[in-house]
Every structure is written in C-alpha cells, then in structure tokens.
Chain A
Amino acid sequence: MEKETHSRRSFFNKLWLVLGGLAFAEIIAMMFAFFRPRKTELSEDDKAAIITAGPVDNFEPGTVSAFVAGKFYLARLEDGGFLAMSRRCTHLSCTVPWVSAENKFICPCHSSEFDIRGEVANPPAPRALDLYAIEIRNNVLSVDTGKLSKRSVFAQNQVTYPKKT
C-alpha cells in the first residue's frame, strides 16, 4: 500500500518534470523563431535588385566603376571581360575603395589589398572579393545584386565577356 503511494508520487513527480521540460523547450523554440533574422522581407527586395549598368562600350578596359546604389564595383579587365564585385572586404566587411593610382582596392580597416580581379594582393583578407552575376543582353550589361557568390581565388570562368561582333 505504502509502496504504491510512493511509486504514484514518484510517477507524478516525473510527469511534472517531463511536462515542465516540454514547456521550457517550447518557450525556447518560440524565442528562436521570434528572433530569427527577417529574411523573407529582404529577399523580396533582393529579387528586384537587378541593376542595369549600361552599354558595354561605356566601360574602358582596365577600369573600375563604382555603383553606389547597387553597392558593387564593375571591373573591366584588360582583355575586355567583366567582373561585378561586392564592395565589402572579405576580411571584416568594411567598404573597400578603388584606388586607381595604385590600381588596387585597398581596405582602410586592416589594409587588405585586392587587384582589379578582386584577387587578394595582400592579407589579412582570406578570400577574393565576392561576385555578383552579370548578364549581357543586346550589348547592355546588367548585374543581379540579389545573388552573391563567394570564391576563394580568381578563376577565368568567373569573367563575363561581351559577344564579339
């Protein structure tokens, strides 16, 4: 008889523990959901983020043009190919200015340097500058700033070339 009460009591104690744990887990899960970054709103913006840069011939080979609204640089390499690069340093996200006198991107925060292809010329940056997709249609160039792709080094297949006419 006594044993029965004991086991009943211990059963209820365990039950309370399990229910309490469950409630606690629910609250934690709720908090996680509540605090999740609001990504859905951002992606709506991103979809509309195709920026028309202009006709291909506007850009001289060997130059870099800044697009403030799209937060990217458009670099035209010496061989005529294009790269659209994020202006954020891959080291710690500072905005990297193009220093045309030195033909380099030089980060003011930790003095990382990148060449015109976004390739790291000087550490501490660990990766080449991030890329945006480029599309050339009827000789007009547009950049999709919604899609950021990371790369560790420069490779030839990252470059977009205008169709030879």
Chain B
Amino acid sequence: MNILQRIRLSVFPDKQETNHHKHGRGKNFRSFLLHFRPRSVPERTLKLSLTWGLGGMAVVLVFLLFGSGLMLKFAYEPTPGKAYDSIVYLNNHVPFGRLLRNIHRWSANGLLFIVFLHFLRVFYTSAFTAPRQFNWIIGLTIFSAVVLSNFTGYLLPWDQLAYWAITISTSMLDYIPGVGTGLKEWILGGPEPGPQTLINFYAIHTAALPLVLLFFLPFHFWRIRKAKGLIIPRSPDEDPSVKGDMIDSMPHLIMREVTLAVLVLAVILLTAMFFNAPLADIANPGLSPNPTKAPWYFMGIQEMLMHFHPVFALLVIPGLLLFGLLLIPYINYEANTTGIWFCSIKGRRMAVIAVFFATLVTVAAVLFDEFVVIANQTGPANMVSNGLLPFTVVLVTCIGFYMLIKKAFSATNNEAVQALFTLLITTFVVLTIIGVWFRGTGMQLMWGT
C-alpha cells in the first residue's frame, strides 16, 4: 500500500477490498446514516398526507440559516454607525452578497411559516397524545426560539423598518406590571434602542438562540425516536392498535427526505434570486414612518392593540393563549383520535364551521370597533371600556361557542377542543391579515393599496 491508499483506509476503515468499490462506500454511508436515522420505520408513516414533510423542511431551512448566517457574520458590523452601511456594502459590492442576504431572509420567514404549519399538522392529527405530550412542549419552545430569532434578526440592518418595529415591540413590555419596564431596559440595554441594543440583539441572534436550537432540535428528534417513530395515520374507523409493516429507512425514508431537501433548496434559491430582502432608509429615531408596523408575525398582536387596552392585548390574552397551548396535551380526552386528521368526519365539519364563524365575527368586530366604538370615543384608553368589557365579550363568545358546538353535534371533547382551537387560530390569522394588508397611513383601515 502506498501512502494515499493508507490514508484512504484510515478514513474508510472497513473498505479493504477495492474491487467491491460501490458496495463498500454504500455500506459506509449507510452505517453513518444510522447514527441519526432509524434503521427501519413503520411503512404507513411515510404517507405524505401525514406530515407533508414539514418537519424535514424546517430542518433544511435551519441548516440553510446556520450556513448563510455564518457567512453574513463575516460582512456585518454590529454598531449603529456601521450596521446599515455594512448591509448596503454587502448588497452592492460583495459578490453574491445580496443573494446571501436574500437566502437568509427568505429562509427565516419560510422557517417561521413552515414551523407554524408543522404546529397545525401536529395538532390536527392529535400527535400530542401520550407518549408525545412533552414533545409538544419542546416543540413550542423551539417555535418560540424561531420567533425570537426572526425578531432579533429584524433589528440588525438598523434601517427605519427595523428600528421602529423593535421600538414598538419592546415598548409592549412596559405594560407588564412590576417587571415590564425593567425587562425592556434589560433587553434594550437602556431606555430606548441604541448601540447596546444592537450588541444585545446580535449576541442573542448569532449565539444564544442558535445554542438553544442546537440543544432542543436533537431533543425533539430524540423524543420521536423514543416514541418509536411518528404516529400511525389512520381513517376514523380503523383500529389504532394495528401498526402495519416496518420498512427500511434506506432508501424509502432517506430518499424522500433528500428529495424534499432539494425541493426546499430550489424554492429558496429561486425566491432569493427574484425577490430582494427589504431595506429601508437608515434608522432615524426622530421620525416614525407612517404607518409603522411590527414584523408581519407580530401584526396579529399589533392589530389586537388597536382594539384592546394593552394590558389585555399584551398580557391577559397572550398569557391565556400560551397557557392553553401548554395545556393541550394534558387535557383528559374522551376519545383516542391519534393519527386521525381532524379527529373524525364530525370534527372536520365542526372545524370548518369554526373557520367561517371566526372569520365573520372577527371582521365584523374589527369594523364595529373601528367605526362605531373608536370613532365615538375620546380620551385615553380605559381599562374597563377598552379592556375588561371587550375581553369579557370575547371570552363569553369563546366559551359559548365551545358549549354550543359541543352540544349541537353531541361531540366528544376532542372535537370541541379542536373547534375552539380552530376558532382562535383563525381569529389570529384574520387579525394578522387585516394588520398586514388592510392598514394604511395612520393605521387606518383601507381597501386595496
């Protein structure tokens, strides 16, 4: 053996026989794969209509974000005087700089969207039941880390868009009684966004949150392995104890994953080639642009702020929703619906009704508040008339909806909880859409552009 052969042998130790070239390499690759993919999986979990490949897509985007983010670190300077210029320089003078920033931006937005869909998929297939209860909590943690990553990354270009979105988003913390202002000043490193804020956000964005993801993502995947793979999809009348055959991961699972990864890469690359990441004028603390909007994923909350006293829009309602989300896997359910899309045929009908009801009521409530209540109100926002009163109305509507639909369909609590969840998610989505597309100058409601 010459030195090259010996080096190759040290890299691929079990590849003694050179004439079994292909076979040997495949075996190496396969044993390497088995370090992080199972040897075999239940055949039925491969069905696309179970997962839609959303978890896999999210992983691909995380890799893409780590890679592009690492490269952006070499071009970016995290000080208010230089951050904006370094982005402009990256855009206009660094080869592939603009493409790289576009990739990072669209992957980040895409990840948020995909993770949201993944969250919906897991809920609507009841994939949060034992033994997967805690993995739902881990998933929510990862979801929060993804939102925070998007949020902290939003400030870094230090343009008007970034500066004011961060100003209003962090000012929301002021309304948390007791600790709020302290928390805000801790995050900003002072009373308003400045040099310290940029350093804080940069450190959180490029070190703290990636570490959180690096810890919780493998944790999330490991729990899936511990639960012996994904849930088995089934139709409402199928017996849950029938598991079906196992099938080799290689090639059946791995090839599907690779195909999906290539597709995601293609979509992101094409998007990044044809659409530029936004960059407004350099940040000017003296001039709030009109309208000033939070990042799109916070527009639902900003829209709520138009209608509720901040204590309710920022604290009471989000607090209750978060509590509800954490509670979902621990409710004592009447039926076992794991693996059935929308619990049952009945559940599907109830969910559709919830979507229509929520859309109608939300739009009607926003219009009513805008043209009847706010138009006739003067003076400061009031805890009771702008807070407790509308909140009680919303709460009573939700509880009433839950009880009515449960009774009308003589449904199980699985189906009723699902209908309520659908109601709330639809409301949030409708509020986000109103905020993003139907609010113009002075945050007035508008139709068209």
Query: Which B residues are CB-close (under 8 A) to A110?
Result: 302, 305-306, 443
Nearest A residue (CB) for B381: A123
Contact check: which of A35, A109, A123 meets B377 at CB < 8 Å? Answer: A123
Is the CB–CB distance between B185 and A108 below 8 Å?
A: no
Interface size class on chain B is 35 or more
**Binary contact track A33-46/B, C-beta < 8 Å → 1, others 0:** 00111110010000
Query: Which A residues are CB-close (under 8 A) to B168?
Result: 92-94, 109
Given A91-B310, A108-B291, answer yes or no on A126-B164 (Cβ-Cβ < 8 Å).
no
Given A108-B289, A109-B443, answer yes or no on A126-B381 (Cβ-Cβ < 8 Å).
yes
With a 10 A CB-CB cut-off, give which of A68, A122, A126, A128 has the most chain B CB atoms: A126
Which residues, 422 to 449 on B, are CB-close (under 8 Å) to A?
441-444
**Is B191 an interface position by the 8 A CB rule?**
yes
**Binary contact track B220-242/A, C-beta < 8 Å → 1, others 0:** 00000000000000000000000
Is the CB–CB distance between B289 and A92 below 8 Å?
A: no
Which residues, 99 to 139 on A, are CB-close (under 8 Å) to B?
106-111, 120-128
Given A92-B171, A95-B287, A124-B305, answer yes or no on A38-B189 (Cβ-Cβ < 8 Å).
yes
Is the CB–CB distance between A109 and B190 below 8 Å?
A: no
Q: Is the interface of A mostly helix, strand, loop or mixed?
A: loop
Contact check: which of B186, B196, B374, B443 meets A123 at CB < 8 Å? Answer: B374
**Binary contact track B157-177/A, C-beta < 8 Å → 1, others 0:** 000000010011001101000
Is the CB–CB distance between A94 and B191 below 8 Å?
A: no
Is the CB–CB distance between A120 and B287 below 8 Å?
A: no
Is the CB–CB distance between B185 and A37 below 8 Å?
A: yes
Is the CB–CB distance between B288 and A124 below 8 Å?
A: no
Question: What CA separation (Å) do A148 and B374 show in the bound complex?
Answer: 30
Question: What CA separation (Å) do A35 and B203 show in the bound complex?
Answer: 12
Q: Other than the known A94-B292, A96-B288, A108-B442, what 4 A-B pairs have Cβ atoms closer than 8 Å? A: A37-B185, A95-B287, A109-B168, A126-B380
